[in-house]
Chain A
Amino acid sequence: MRTDDLVTMLATGAGAVAPNQALRRHVAALAWGVLGAALLMAALLGPRHDLLQALLLPMFWIKLAFAACVAAASLAAALRLSRPGQRLAWVPGVLGAPVLALWLLAALVLARADAAQRAILFFGDTWDVCPFLIALLSVPGFVAAMRAMQGLAPTRLRMAGAAAGLLAGAVATLVYSLHCPEMAAPFIGFWYPLGMLIPTAAGALLGPRLLRW
């Protein structure tokens, strides 16, 4: 087939294309991720018993805000990475800001605590399950985000996979924080990001294989 014939073939009956598809697909994937994580959390873990009292504590909202900020920034990253020719620009900064803010808070808390208290603030009661539970809750969001990415056109496949994984991890963390009883900034600042990094690493690993087009 000559190239002119291919051009004619592609143009024939091409029809209109709905705008903003990258945003729409990623937001839909995010919604599936929230739903999936919430169902998994309700079925396997349940919300924390004192959820209603926790609503009054600032640290509870700081946890939620942290996860939400990371989710928003990784959504921006995923969007940009799924369109050819777009740069990440300010996104890494926005992604780093909530992490830095939380670390600052954690450092402050640790500095003001007694030496004996510090290990408890860092390890809490659940450090050994927290990252794995976050990774578990991220599975539905991971599948949805990778599928959304597959329907778009990432050109940096490893980065795109990582951004999809991070988005799934952040969404899972948002839901997980409704279950998690830990309230110390040093705990949140280390084990939560570690949990998010598990699907991120999985995405970076699988991206080059799954996202080719």
Chain B
Amino acid sequence: MQETSRLNAGEVRLRSLFLRGLAGDEPAYHAFLRDLSAHLRAFLRKRLVQLPDEVEDLVQEALLAVHNQRHTYDAGQPLTAWVQAIAKYKLIDLLRRRAQRELLNDPLDDEFDFAAAAHTEAADARRDLTKLLARLPERQRLPIVHMKLEGLSVTEAAKLTGMSESAVKVGVHRGLKALAAMLRDEA
């Protein structure tokens, strides 16, 4: 009983932050993603007990997926169901990739890793998104660097890069999708 009401309170809070974020409220969206990353970490850690090293990479992959697919949320559905379906999709994708790889590789070294399972803090992700970012083509990388990392406006980023404003927006959008594809294909 208490458990359900706690879950509902979490759902209500996250959902209201997310809806405000979708309407353009950046601080609310930031708070949503921050809370969500903790939820995702708990959710995935429980399901990746055997693979603790993969958790933080998958948290990042799921966060990027939630961000890239945020236009598919239907305000009529529970946010938890939407988020969990995304996390599960990414989890299954990871397990399938690993299963395919382990047909070729010796899986033994995973068994020496169990000591790493206990901590609750965010571990370091093993893949560095900054390095992946550097491999994007200029027309995607520069808009992301200026708008998403340096926090410039579309107009400023357009002026700085000599691109049109719509090209800057498209560059951010496609760049983040390309980043998600890199995470997926190189895990």
Contacts and interface: CB of A to CB of B under 8 A. Distances in A.
Interface string B141-172: 00010011101111000000000000000001
B30 interface: yes
B60 interface: yes
B63 A12 contact: no
Contacts of A11: 21, 26, 29-30, 33
B33 A10 contact: yes
Given A18-B71, A83-B72, A6 B63 contact: yes
Interface string B102-141: 0000000000000000000010110011100100000000
Contacts of B93: 212
Contacts of B78: 85
Which of B24, B71, B83 has the largest number of chain A CB atoms within 10 A? B71
Contacts of A12: 26, 147-149, 151
Interface string A7-27: 111111111111101100000
Given A3-B60, A213-B65, A84 B89 contact: yes
Interface in A12-52: 12-19, 21-22
A212 B180 CA distance: 11
B72 A9 contact: no
Interface residues of A, number: 30
Contacts, number: 120
B135 to A, nearest CB: 14
Interface string A185-201: 00000000000000000
A3 B56 contact: yes
Contacts of B154: 13
A164 to B, nearest CB: 15
Contacts of A13: 26, 147-148, 151-154, 172
Contacts of A152: 69, 71-72
Given A13-B154, A152-B72, 15 more contacts: A2-B122, A3-B59, A4-B37, A4-B122, A7-B37, A9-B144, A10-B67, A11-B33, A13-B147, A17-B71, A19-B75, A84-B69, A85-B86, A153-B86, A213-B184
